[in-house]
Amino acid sequence: MKIKIRDIFTSLTTAFVLFLFLSAVFGYGSYIAASKDVKVIFKKMTATHIWNAFDAIWQHQLVLCWLLVLAMVAVALFGNTLCCTWRQLCQYRRSNRTVRASKRLRRMMLIHIVALTVIVFHGLDVVMVERHLPQKIGIGESRDISGYTVKVEAIEYVTDTKYIRENEQGKRRPSFKIPYGKFSIEGNKAQLALYHQGQLVQRSDIRIFSPVRIGSTFFFLDGFYLPHDSEQIGISIHGSNNPLVLLFFLVYACLFALLVWHAVANRQSV
């Protein structure tokens, strides 16, 4: 009975089932996000920090249950990967390092360790990464974002302004809904001056999909807007502090490289 329980925790089938279940949980999350009250909570969770939305989550039973199930599946997947990694390590230590099988075990052990690191980094992302809601800034105006004072010195907008004109309620068409080919990614930009404690730190152009970075702090251009009763174009911008971003990409690159190495090595040994 003990062997069967151990096999369940270290089984690749268990990992596959957990991945399927995780996909189903995410899919259900996308489904309930269509509801207006849930959409507001999800938007706050993704745009800022999960802790900032904790009160709203606690009061909404459906979102709370969904989040708890998601956390349990993620913890189970982490436990499965941890047990699998430990098993691979034990098998590698018992194997003869001169045989071909031990080389395969070594590759599998490294893949499991890096995969485990990826899961840990995703958990740290929830706790450590700070995000802030978008703020509107006009030319010559300043806002405090992510520990910096952001001043818009100039805006260059070459696309038809009808796409960014706000209605009386202050709403406009999102940038991603502007017809393809109508919006100039390179031509539409803003010049920012970033200050920290009154000192100019950086002056840089910002575009859609081209954030401005200072260390682990990133500033993202969400779009342009034109007030209903004005012809002065402004921008919508948000900040994010992510000290893990470079390590995150490095770990994923290592995982991809290990998977390719393992696949090539297995093919050559056939």
Residue 105 scores a pLDDT above 90: no
Contact 64, 78 (CB under 8 A): no
**pTM for the structure as a whole:** 0.67
pLDDT digits (tens, 9 = 90+) for 45-79: 776 677 777 888 888 889 899 999 998 998 888 88
pLDDT digits (tens, 9 = 90+) for 219-257: 999 889 988 888 899 999 998 888 888 888 899 899 899
- Domain co-membership, 137 together with 217: yes
What are the CA-CA distances from residue 31 to residues 15, 49, 76, 112, 126 (Å)?
24, 21, 23, 32, 22
Q: Looking at 157-161, 192-196, 201-205, 235-239, which range is the least confident one?
A: 157-161
Count structural domains, the chain.
2
Question: Which long-range contacts does 13-19 make (Cβ < 8 Å, 24+ apart)?
Answer: 14/80, 15/77, 15/80, 15/81, 15/84, 18/73, 18/76, 18/77, 18/80, 19/77
Mean pLDDT of 112-137: 82
- Domain co-membership, 151 together with 201: yes
Residue 175 scores a pLDDT above 90: no
% residues pLDDT > 90 (the chain): 24
- Domain co-membership, 156 together with 231: yes
- Residue 92: give the domain boundaries: 2-130+246-269
Residue 157 sits in a domain of what CATH number? 2.60.98
- Domain co-membership, 98 together with 165: no
- Domain co-membership, 122 together with 228: no
pLDDT at residue 16 in the model: 84
C-beta atoms surrounding 143 within 10 Å: 15
